[in-house]
A and B are shown apart, each in its own frame.
Chain A
Amino acid sequence: LVLTQSPATLSLSPGERATLSCRASQSVSTYLGWYQQKPGQAPRLLIYDASKRATGIPARFRGSGSGTAFTLTISSLEPEDFAVYYCQQRSSGGGAPLTFGGGTKVEIK
């Protein structure tokens, strides 16, 4: 399973909408997660099951998609949202490898 994230970098201003894409090389149903990572910090789970927000995650973060195409939308960027975002899945079959996408950096324009 390969997860391809695009774009690699997204340059936006606070208040703008961010749309991040994650494509899987095979169908993964809705078993996809999104993480946010800031410099010097561990990744933080944002979204699981493609569209469910993790505990404490603001409503401006929305996940969507199923099968092979997934999107993370940040409706209105706050200063603390500028970070790197990763998607993650597991190939089918028990004990199958877990895979992360290459990441999308959301930077201040």
Chain B
Amino acid sequence: QVQLQESGPGLVKPSETLSLTCTVSGGSFNNYYWSWIRQPPGKGLEWIGYISYSGTTYYNPSLERRVTISLDTSENQFSLKLGSVTAADTAVYYCARYSGTWVVFDYWGQGTLVAVSS
């Protein structure tokens, strides 16, 4: 059973960089894409980006200038960095496994709330 778990600070100051890590257990990184998705309080889901098992990245064009996703297969982890944050970046951040074959997110972490505030 694949499990994902997000970790990182729950509070980030405006203009700083949000950094989160997702630890994956119970499965291989091969043949999947490893994704970040966020959900502002009371709102819908927004795809941030993903990284392939070979390290190729794809980002949401609306966030591309500020986003970096990286992969560390030796630690079974992948990470998100979102720079120059504002209050609009306050959200629950989820990591998820994306199947390129079926174009769906089949396993999700429980999510972590990150608030942007001074």
Instruction: Name the B residues within 8 Å of A35 (CB-CB).
Output: 105
Q: Are A48 and B104 in contact (CB under 8 A)?
A: yes
Whether A100 and B44, one on each chain, are in contact in the complex, defined by CB atoms closer than 8 angstroms, is yes
* Number of interface residues, chain A, beta carbon within 8 A: 25
Q: Is the CB of B61 within 8 A of A45?
A: no
Are B47 and A100 within 8 A (Cβ)? yes
In angstroms, how far is the closest chain A Cβ from the Cβ of B1? Answer: 10
Interface size class of B (residues with CB under 8 A): 20 to 34
> How distant is B71 from chain A, measured CB to nearest CB, in Å?
16
In the complex the two chains form, what is the Cα distance from A20 to B111 in whole Å? 26
Are the CB atoms of B109 and A33 closer together than 8 Å? no
Structural contact, B103 and A100, CB atoms closer than 8 A: no
Residues of A within 8 A of B94 (CB): 42-43
Residues A15-55 near B (CB distance < 8 A): 31-33, 35, 41-45, 48-49, 52, 54
Q: Are B106 and A48 in contact (CB under 8 A)?
A: yes
Judged by a CB distance under 8 angstroms, whether A95 is at the interface is: yes
Instruction: Tell me the chain B residues, 20-46 only, with Cβ under 8 Å from chain A.
Output: 35, 44-46
A33 to B102: give the CA distance in the assembly, Å: 8
Residues 57 to 86 of chain B near chain A (Cβ within 8 Å): 58, 60-61
Contact of B105 among A33, A97, A103 (CB under 8 A): A33
Tell me, in angstroms, the Cα distance from A36 to B60 when the chains sit together.
23
Interface residues of B (CB under 8 A from A): 35, 44-47, 50, 58, 60-61, 94, 96, 98-99, 102-106, 108-111
